[in-house]
Amino acid sequence: MKKNIILMGPPAAGKGTLAKKLLQKYGFVHISTGDMFRDAAKEGTELGLTAKEYIDRGDLVPDDITIGVVNERLHKGDLGNGYLLDGFPRTIHQAEALAEMVKGSSSDIDVVINLECDEAELVRRVTGRRICRNCGAPYHIETMKPKVEGVCDLCGGELYQRADDTEEALKNRLKNYYTQTQPLLDYYDNLGLLKSFDSLKGSDELFEEICEFING
Residues noted as catalytic: 15, 90, 129, 162, 173
Half-sphere exposure of 189 (CA within 13 A, CB side): 7
**Contact status, residue 208 vs residue 96, Cβ threshold 8 Å:** no
Residue 67 CA to residue 48 CA, distance in Å, equals 14
In single-letter form, the type of residue at position 200 comes to: L
In single-letter form, the type of residue at position 76 comes to: K
What are φ and ψ of residue 192, in 5° steps?
75, 25
- The CA distances from residue 10 to 54, 59, 109, 121, in Å, are 17, 14, 20, 11
Q: Which of 51, 57, 91 is nearest to 187 (CA)?
A: 91
- The CA distances from residue 202 to 13, 26, 207, 209, in Å, are 12, 21, 9, 11
